[in-house]
């Protein structure tokens, strides 16, 4: 059995880019009615410094253990949200990013369809994040000795290049 995690959902309207197509009031009502998610909040422009401060404060104040951010593409702003949750005391693997902008708002013209799909995406991320465990990082010393097999031109040039970089080379 998995311990129930305290999960928070944060919705970014990206100005009005997402909220023009996705009905955030319906999403908030849907998840509030489930009584499973203690925190669900809409924050405008979550990637901006003032919003990130509010985001981190909410995580700390409510003692969340996992966070779902429903916003734009993870490739675009994912590193900002990862850093923010780590600064709030949550392991980066306990963050799930939902791409509402490119996967809902930009592909659905009908608001009800976009909203229903957004709910599906968030629900699937809730199920996934319930199973996630923190990933612990560990520093290890790297042996920088390189064995080069082959004494031809390429092998000799590689040995010279690595040697110039300060790596011990064995030819």
User: Residues 16, 88: one domain?
Assistant: yes
- Taking only the tens place, the pLDDT of each residue in 85-122 is 999 999 999 999 999 998 888 888 888 999 999 999 99
Answer yes or no: do 90 and 145 share one domain: no
Check whether 136 has a pLDDT greater than 90.
no
Interatomic CA distance for residues 112 and 78, integer angstroms: 27
Whether residues 105 and 46 fall in one domain: yes
Domain that holds residue 144: 140-171
Q: Within 10 A of 55 (CB to CB), how many other CB atoms are there?
A: 24
32: in domain: yes
Instruction: Judge if pTM exceeds 0.85.
Output: no
Domain co-membership, 158 together with 116? no
Q: How far apart are CA 149 and CA 135, in angstroms?
A: 36
- Which CATH number does the domain housing residue 60 bear? 3.40.50
Tally of CB atoms within 10 A around 140: 5
pLDDT, residue 127, reads: 94
Of the chain, the percentage scoring pLDDT greater than 70 comes to 98
């Amino acid at each position: 059995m998995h311990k129930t995690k305290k999960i928070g959902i944060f919705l970014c309207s990206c100005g009005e880019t997402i909220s023009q197509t996705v009905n955030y009031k319906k999403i908030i009502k849907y998840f509030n009615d489930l009584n499973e998610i203690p925190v669900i909040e809409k924050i405008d422009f979550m990637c901006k410094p003032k919003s990130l401060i509010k985001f981190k404060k909410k995580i700390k104040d409510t003692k969340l253990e996992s966070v779902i951010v429903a916003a734009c593409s993870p490739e675009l702003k994912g590193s900002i949200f990862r850093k923010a949750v780590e600064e709030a005391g949550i392991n980066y693997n306990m963050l799930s990013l939902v791409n509402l902008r490119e996967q809902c708002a930009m592909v659905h013209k009908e608001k009800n369809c976009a909203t229903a799909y957004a709910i599906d995406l968030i629900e699937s991320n809730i199920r996934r994040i319930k199973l996630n465990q923190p990933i612990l990082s560990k520093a290890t010393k790297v042996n920088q000795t390189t064995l080069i097999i082959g004494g031809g031109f390429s092998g000799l040039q590689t040995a010279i290049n690595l040697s110039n970089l300060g790596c011990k080379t064995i030819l």
